[in-house]
Structure 1
Amino acid sequence: MKILVVDDHALVREGLRQVLKGLDADVDVLEAGLCGRAFELADQHTDLDLVLLDYHLPDMNGLDALDVFARKHPELPIIVLSGSVNPRVIRQVMNKGAAAFLTKSGMSEELLSVTRLVLAGDVYVPPEVMAAMADPSEAGLQAGQPTPQFTPRQEEVLYLLLDGYANKEIGRMLNLSDETVKNHVTAILRGFGVTTRTQAVLAANRHGYVRSQTSDTD
């Protein structure tokens, strides 16, 4: 398991490194003090499993950093950390495609719990903004926007996305090439009018799609 921690304070990075060891003794934690360095590391380590990203960084704020990660590494889940709680910022962060938002004042066990959730393919929406996220005006959806129409195969891919499977896993499960899966995922993102898998999961939930309890494609 490989996780990238992005924070401009060395003590915070070291603290997060120690906490993340609770996931697995062999977890490989990479560190970056600036977004520029974080993007370099993400390009170099294509096997990254997760990014922990501080919202307030000297060279770029969290929203802009999420845009860059979404463009260059759309399948890489990102947990945004912040020292302050601003519901509007949290909504913006989630709508930009973050997999979770946590405050630095939280407990270590909360970080581990949410990290495990995200690594399993889930999205964690803070309870205090769950209701607001469901509001189309807050969630970036136009009121009355119709549910996009997908082909049966695209719906199969969508439900596997909701279950947290990566493209290669979906390809194996549905006997599809990587390129075909990528094309289906692109069509799903386009259908929901979003740019990342996390945004697609949130949009799918708002349109009534729910993840299956068990997959019958195994």
Structure 2
Amino acid sequence: MQILVVDDHALVREGLCQVLKGLDEDIEVLEAPHCARAFELAALHPGLDLVLLDYHLPDMNGLEALAIFGQRHPELPIVMLSGSVNPRIMRQVMNQGAAGFVTKSGKSQELLAILRLVLDGEIYSPPDLLNESRPMPLDDSKTGYSPLPFTPRQEAVLNLLLDGRSNKEISEALNLADETIKTHVTAILRGFGVKTRVQAVLAAGRHGYTKSSPLA
């Protein structure tokens, strides 16, 4: 398992490296002090499983970095870290396609539980947002947007995406080449009008797709 930690404070990165060992004894943690280095490492390590991204970084903020990660690595889950609790920023981050938002004031075991959830293909919604009446995800129902019709093969890929499967696992399950799966995933993102894998899962739920049964 490979996780990229992006934070401009060395002590924070070192502390997270120790905490992350609780996920897997053989975990490999990559460190980046700023976004420029983070993008380099993500390009050099296509097998990354997760990114822990600090919201306040010296070269750009978390939303800008999240957008770039979404464009370059749409299937890579990003969990945003922040030292402050700001519901507006939380909402923006989740709407941008993050897989979760975690404050640095939390306990290490809570962080590990959240990361396990995300690594299983789920999305962690901060309690501060769940208690609000305003919708957190991008609300395409207000725009009247409806997804493009998917082919049976694309629906099969989407169904496995909803189960939290990686591209490699989908490739093996459907007996298709990795590049073919990437093409289908790209088509699914385009069909829902979103940029990231997480946003596609959210949009699929709003349009009636479930983990076990693609929409007919």
TM-score above 0.5, yes or no: yes
Match of 1:85 in 2: 85
* TM-score normalised according to structure 2 size: 0.90
What's the CA shift for 1:25? Answer: 2.2
Aligned-residue sequence identity (percent) comes to 67
Match of 1:29 in 2: 29
* SS of equivalent to 2:52: strand
What is the letter of the counterpart of residue 116 of structure 1? Answer: R
* SS of equivalent to 2:38: helix
What's the CA shift for 1:82? Answer: 0.6
Match of 1:170 in 2: 170
Structure 1: runs of 5+ lacking an equivalent:
214-218
Match of 1:41 in 2: 41
What is the letter of the counterpart of residue 135 of structure 2? Answer: D
What's the CA shift for 1:170? Answer: 1.1
After TM superposition, the structure 1 stretch with the greater mean CA deviation from structure 2, 66-75 or 100-109, is 66-75
Check the 8 A contact 1:93/1:101 in 2, yes or no. yes
Which digits, 9 at most, give the CA deviation of each residue in 1:128-180, with x for residues without a partner?
Answer: 324769738x6242424335432222211111001111222212211222232
Alignment of 1:1-218 (within 5 A): 1-130=1-130, 135=135, 139-143=138-142, 144-146=144-146, 148-212=148-212
In 2: Cα distance, 1:14 partner to 1:175 partner: 40
After TM superposition, the structure 1 stretch with the greater mean CA deviation from structure 2, 51-60 or 69-78, is 69-78
* TM-score normalised according to structure 1 size: 0.89
In 2: Cα distance, 1:170 partner to 1:80 partner: 26
In 2: Cα distance, 1:44 partner to 1:179 partner: 18
* SS of equivalent to 1:23: coil
What's the CA shift for 1:90? Answer: 1.2
What's the CA shift for 1:37? Answer: 1.1
Structure 2: runs of 5+ lacking an equivalent:
none
> For the aligned residues, what is the CA RMSD?
2.1
